Amino acid sequence: MSKHLRRHWLGLTGAGVLSMIVVVALLAPLIAPYDPYTQLLDGITADGSPLPPSAQHLLGTDLLGRDLLSRLLYGARTSLIIGLIANGLSITIGTLLGVIAGYLRGLLGAVIMRFTDLMMAFPALLLAIALSALLEPSLWIVALVIAMVNWVSIARVIYTETLSIRERDFVTAARGLGATSPRILVHHILPHLLPTILVWTTLGIATSVLLEATLSYLGIGVRPPVPSWGNIVFENQTYFSSAPWLVFAPGLAIAMLAFSCNLAGDALRDILDPRELGQGR
State the residues that interact with other proteins by CB under 8 A. 10, 114, 117-118, 121-127, 129-131, 133-134, 206, 210, 213-214, 217-220, 230, 233, 237, 240-241, 244, 247-248, 251-252, 254-255, 258-259, 261-263, 266, 280-281
User: Least distance to other proteins from the beta carbon of 136, Å?
Assistant: 11
CA 204 to chain centroid:
5
Of 111, 110, 112, nearest in space to 95 by CA: 112
Comparing CB distances to other proteins, the nearer of 37 and 245 is: 245
| 8 A C-beta contact, residue 50 and residue 62 | yes
User: Least distance to other proteins from the beta carbon of 74, Å?
Assistant: 19
Comparing CB distances to other proteins, the nearer of 17 and 104 is: 17
| 8 A C-beta contact, residue 13 and residue 51 | no
Comparing CB distances to other proteins, the nearer of 18 and 189 is: 18
Residues 230 and 240: their CA atoms lie apart, in Å, by 14
| 8 A C-beta contact, residue 149 and residue 120 | no
Helical ranges in the chain per DSSP H: 2-7, 9-31, 68-81, 87-104, 106-120, 124-134, 139-165, 169-176, 181-183, 190-217, 229-236, 245-272
User: Least distance to other proteins from the beta carbon of 200, Å?
Assistant: 15
For the chain, the straight-line distance linking the first and the last C-alpha, in angstroms and rounded, comes to 19
Comparing CB distances to other proteins, the nearer of 148 and 185 is: 148
Comparing CB distances to other proteins, the nearer of 32 and 218 is: 218
User: Least distance to other proteins from the beta carbon of 242, Å?
Assistant: 9
| 8 A C-beta contact, residue 62 and residue 238 | no
Residues 48 and 51: their CA atoms lie apart, in Å, by 9
Residues 61 and 73: their CA atoms lie apart, in Å, by 13
Grouping H, G, I as helix, E, B as strand and the rest as coil, residue 100 is: helix
Comparing CB distances to other proteins, the nearer of 110 and 173 is: 110
In this structure, how many other beta carbons lie within 10 angstroms of the beta carbon of residue 270? Answer: 19
Comparing CB distances to other proteins, the nearer of 123 and 191 is: 123
Comparing CB distances to other proteins, the nearer of 30 and 133 is: 133
User: Least distance to other proteins from the beta carbon of 35, Å?
Assistant: 26
User: Least distance to other proteins from the beta carbon of 281, Å?
Assistant: 8
User: Least distance to other proteins from the beta carbon of 228, Å?
Assistant: 12
Residues present in the chain in total: 281
User: Least distance to other proteins from the beta carbon of 275, Å?
Assistant: 15
